[in-house]
Structures are given as C-alpha cells and as structure tokens.
Amino acid sequence: MSETLPVVVSIAAALALAVALERLAPHERAPASWLANAGLWAAATGLRALVFGGAEWQVARWTANARFGLLALGPAPLAAAVPATVLGLDLVSYLWHRANHRVRLLWRFHRVHHADPVVTASTSLRFHPGEILLSLPVRLAAIALLGAPLAGVVAFEAVFGAANALEHGNFDLPFRVERALDRALVTPALHRRHHSVSRVEHDANYGTIFAFWDLWLGSRCPGASTDRFPVGLPAGATGAPRALGAMLLEPFRAATR
C-alpha cells in the first residue's frame, strides 16, 4: 500500500489538472465518455489486482535482494538508478506500444483505446483488461532484467501514469510552451496526432513520457495545438463502442485494421 499511494496520488492530481485545463483552454468542445471509460478502467484495474497483485513491487524487491539485473552490476547509486529506471521502463513501454500497432492479436485489444471518438483525459482510462494483462509480464521482465530498485519502479509508475493522463487531455498549450517541451516530453498535441484516423499518423508517436524515443527511432509525427483532424478508428474499421459491455467484447469481434 505504501508503494501504491504515491502512484495513485500522482495520477489523480494529473487527471484533475487535465480536466481543469480542458475547461480553461479546450482543444475542441466535445463530451467525454467518463462513465464508460472509467468502467473499463475499474474492470482492468480489478483484474490486474486479482491476477498480479503488487507484482511489480515484489519483483523490484527480489532484484535488490538477489543483486540481479543490469543496474546491480555497478552497483548504481540510487540517485542514478531511479532516473535510469524511469528511462529504461519508458523505452520498454515505447517498444511495447509499437508492437501493439504491429501485432494483430495485440491490436485487437489496443484498438479499444483508439476507438474513442474524442480524445480527452477520460481516454487515459480506456484500456481493455486484456491489454493490461498482456502488458504486465513484459513490464515485470523489464524490471527484473534492468535490476530496477523499488524507488525507481514507484517513480516510473507515478510519472508514467501522470504523463498518460495529461497527454490525453483535450486542451491546448501556448505555442512557446509546446515547442519548448515537445522535443523531450510527450505533449497533448503530439499524442493527439497518434489518435488520428490516418493510419500513417496513428502508427507514430508511441512515447508516453519521453518524446525523443520517437525522434530517435523514426516514428515521430509532428503535432501542434493548432492542428485540427478527425480522431478515432479509420473509416472501414470496427465502430467506436461506447457502452462498457461493447468495449469488453470488442477484441473478440472480427474487424478490419
């Protein structure tokens, strides 16, 4: 519980900030699907807790006791190991997100997230339980191989969750602020481009915390708050389920890309 609390507080604060900014500087006037998206989040969170519990904390404790992983080779001081953990796990998240767009089975679950017809802070909660269950073993393996310390894993989960909430926000940033940030951090404008109906554009901008993975690995698609384009799934793909039951069943329906 002591490890989970700062993560929950960080995500809740980021969601509150995103909602406030959506009211102050909205990108577009559109209703958010809070009820259905929060229901999907509750289902995914409950199933994750049931299947994995606090596995990420347990793996981090094991790597420390066993002196296992890359960071144990040094060993790295905590002041270096924590940022290294955030960087390393965010890179793994980038690669996993990219795989979700390339592997047909993974896309069946991930497309539920992309099916939201309006990108708002509530979209950050819209992940199918199947996608969460498939992603956790990858993250646990990354924690072990990296030899990530517990403090580093907590920091990553807190920053990752906050970044996920903010980058889905339906708000615009001032031009100078946006340009100062978007080479290093994922802004709402960059991530909104990832939700474009255009396949070329939604198969880009896979980063969650750091924007330079896309820049360095050739998957960046520029985005600005002034850009206007349709979001969601492309024409001819499965429709955008709005009800909780439809979202849960969506991966098991036959669908086009």
Is residue 243 pLDDT above 90, yes or no? no
The pLDDT > 90 percentage for the chain reads 86
pLDDT one-digit tens code per residue, 61-79: 999 999 999 998 888 899 9
Is residue 152 pLDDT above 80, yes or no? yes
CA separation for the pair 251, 257 (Å, rounded): 12
Least confident of 56-70, 137-151, 241-255: 241-255
Which of 8, 157, 9, 147 lies closest to 78, judged by CA?
Answer: 147
pLDDT one-digit tens code per residue, 165-199: 999 999 999 999 999 999 999 999 999 999 999 99
The mean pLDDT value for 2-15 works out to 95
The mean pLDDT value for 30-42 works out to 92
Mean pLDDT of the chain: 93
- The pLDDT value recorded for residue 51 is 94
The domains of the chain are located at 4-25+33-252
CA separation for the pair 201, 196 (Å, rounded): 6
The mean pLDDT value for 209-238 works out to 90
- The pLDDT value recorded for residue 255 is 61
Tokens of 216: 């360095």
CA separation for the pair 7, 77 (Å, rounded): 23
Is residue 237 pLDDT above 80, yes or no? no
Torsion angles phi and psi, residue 196, rounded to 5 = -60, 150
| Length of the chain measured in residues | 257
Rg of the Cα trace of the chain? 18
Tokens of 138: 């990858």
- The pLDDT value recorded for residue 257 is 58
- The pLDDT value recorded for residue 44 is 97
pLDDT one-digit tens code per residue, 86-107: 999 999 999 999 999 999 999 9
Q: Is 231 left (phi over 0), alpha (psi -120 to 50) or beta?
A: beta
CA separation for the pair 190, 159 (Å, rounded): 18
Is residue 240 pLDDT above 90, yes or no? no
232-251 b/e (C-beta count within 10 Å ≥ 16 → b): bbeeebbebbeebeebbebb
pLDDT one-digit tens code per residue, 101-130: 999 999 999 999 999 999 999 999 999 999
CA separation for the pair 237, 205 (Å, rounded): 21
pTM (predicted TM-score): 0.94
Neighbours of 143 (CB within 10 A): 28
**C-alpha neighbours within 13 Å on the C-beta side of residue 33:** 22
Q: In this structure, are residues 97 and 247 in contact, taking their beta carbons and an 8 Å threshold?
A: no
Which helix (H) or strand (E) covers residue 59, if one does?
Answer: helix 55-66
Q: In this structure, are residues 161 and 208 in contact, taking their beta carbons and an 8 Å threshold?
A: no
CA separation for the pair 115, 107 (Å, rounded): 11
162-179 b/e (C-beta count within 10 Å ≥ 16 → b): bbbbbbbbbbbbeeeebe
